[in-house]
Amino acid sequence: MKVVLFCGGMGMRMREYSEAIPKPMVPIGYRPIIWHVMKYYAHYGHKDFILCLGYKADVIKNYFRSYDECVSNDFVLSGGGKKLELLNSDIDDWRITFVDTGLKSNIGERLKAVEKHLREDEVFLANYTDGLSDVNLKALEERFVESKKIACFVSVKPRASFHMISVDREGVVKSIEHVTKSGARINGGFFLFRREIFRYIKDGEELVEQPFRRLISEGQLITHPHNGFWACMDTFKELQELEDLHSNGNPPWAVWSGS
């Protein structure tokens, strides 16, 4: 299956970084977060990527055009530094399609912009490039195929330190509990779509707004609940948490490390 990755947004909530590089290029360890997302999919055998570019697209293009395998792989150097033998490789068998999908396009518009690159694909994967997880992709794929539905996404428990409340018409609080104990779930990305999804997206629409509501009305949208690791890099605090996990060794999203 092809993997569509949305990496054209401006990342305004990480403005200090986004003024120099696009959000997908924010590093975690020695590689940008987009690499971690792509490495995850490649682990499950999905190595044909379509990047929906926008803001600072040149930075992403140039990164992969000048990719240095030595940074994250073992190698042997000989001949006084003239001969280099890689012992393993990251992206040698990856195929990456770079598509300009607009500077200010929303996710629905970006997906529509790459429709022509998916004409031969009955089912394809899609994701944001700021979320990491250890969700079992094989199990997710199997569930989606068996469902025969048009769309599926991973739902996760929110990690925010907020409390949810319920009130009556007079504003009297009836209950209050931490959001992680409320049973609420949020969209965690990691989408699977059938080609029919494009019939549900009209010009200018955001993917998870009107199109998803149409799917819901027809019973064509399912979710895959995931209770394992999931984290989204929206703020510097969340970036630091991912950095800490990475620096401690064996980060939970690095499913490829145990292979």
Q: What is the dihedral of CA 218, 220, 225, 231, to 10 degrees?
A: -100
DSSP class per residue in 118-134:
GTT-SEEEEEESSEEE-
What is the predicted pLDDT for the residue at 172?
77
- pTM, two decimals, is 0.87
Position 154 in a domain: yes
What CATH number should be reported for the domain holding residue 113? Answer: 3.90.550.10
Range of the domain at 48: 2-68+87-258
Question: Alpha-carbon distance 130 to 25, whole Å?
Answer: 10
Which parts of the chain sit beneath pLDDT 70? 11-19, 160-162, 179-183, 258-259
Which distant-in-sequence residues (6+ apart) come within 8 Å of 171 by Cβ? none
For the stretch 2-17, what's the b/e string if a residue is b when 16 or more beta carbons lie within 10 angstroms of its beta carbon?
Answer: bbbbbbbbbbeebeeb
Position 76 in a domain: no
The position carrying tokens 């940008």 is: 32
Domain count, the chain: 1
Question: Alpha-carbon distance 21 to 37, whole Å?
Answer: 17
Position 81 in a domain: no
Beta pairing, strands 173-178 & 31-32: unpaired
What is the predicted pLDDT for the residue at 16?
60
What is the predicted pLDDT for the residue at 161?
63
Question: Alpha-carbon distance 224 to 226, whole Å?
Answer: 6
Position 82 in a domain: no
Question: Alpha-carbon distance 174 to 168, whole Å?
Answer: 7
pLDDT tens digit string along 236-254?
888 999 999 999 888 999 9
- If phi > 0 it is left, if psi is from -120 to 50 it is alpha, else beta; for residue 30 that is alpha
pLDDT tens digit string along 145-192?
999 999 999 999 877 666 777 887 877 787 787 766 666 788 899 999
